[in-house]
C-alpha cells in the first residue's frame, strides 16, 4: 500500500477530498519525522512505538565487487509493535 492508496482510503473514511487528506497526511509525516530527527521517540497507540538510534559502522560482503566493504555508521528508525498488533498478527491465521 502506497501513499496514494492511504490517502484514498483516508479520504473515503473521513469524507474529505483527497487534496485535503494529502495535506493532513504530509503534515502528520512531517511531525513524526521531526520527532525522530531530534532523537525524540513517539508512540502511536494500538500500533507501536518508534525511536531513532545510531547504528555503528560494520563490514559486510558486497557481491557485486566480490569483497568486503565498510558501511558507515548512520541513524536508523527502530519500531516496536504494540500488543494489539502482535495479537492481530498471531491470531490472523496463516
pLDDT along the chain (94 residues), means of 10: 95 96 96 92 94 95 96 95 91 64
End-to-end Cα distance, the chain = 20
Three-state DSSP state, 74: strand
Number of domains observed in the structure of the chain: 1
Residue 91: its pLDDT value, please?
82
Specify if 3 maps to a domain. Answer: yes
Specify if 62 maps to a domain. Answer: no
Specify if 90 maps to a domain. Answer: no
Residue 93: its pLDDT value, please?
55
Residue 92: its pLDDT value, please?
64
Specify if 26 maps to a domain. Answer: yes
Specify if 22 maps to a domain. Answer: yes
Specify if 86 maps to a domain. Answer: no
Residue 94: its pLDDT value, please?
54
Specify if 25 maps to a domain. Answer: yes
Domain residues for the domain of 26 are 1-38
Predicted TM-score of the model (pTM): 0.74
C-alpha cell at 7: 490517502
Amino acid at each position: 500500500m502506497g501513499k496514494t492508496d492511504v490517502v484514498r482510503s483516508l479520504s473515503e473514511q473521513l469524507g474529505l477530498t483527497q487534496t485535503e487528506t494529502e495535506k493532513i497526511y504530509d503534515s502528520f509525516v512531517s511531525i513524526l519525522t521531526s520527532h525522530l530527527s531530534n532523537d525524540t521517540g513517539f508512540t502511536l497507540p494500538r500500533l507501536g512505538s518508534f525511536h531513532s538510534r545510531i547504528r555503528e559502522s560494520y563490514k559486510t560482503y558486497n557481491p557485486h565487487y566480490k569483497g568486503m566493504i565498510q558501511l558507515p555508521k548512520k541513524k536508523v528508525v527502530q519500531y516496536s509493535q504494540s500488543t494489539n498488533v502482535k495479537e492481530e498478527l498471531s491470531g490472523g491465521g496463516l
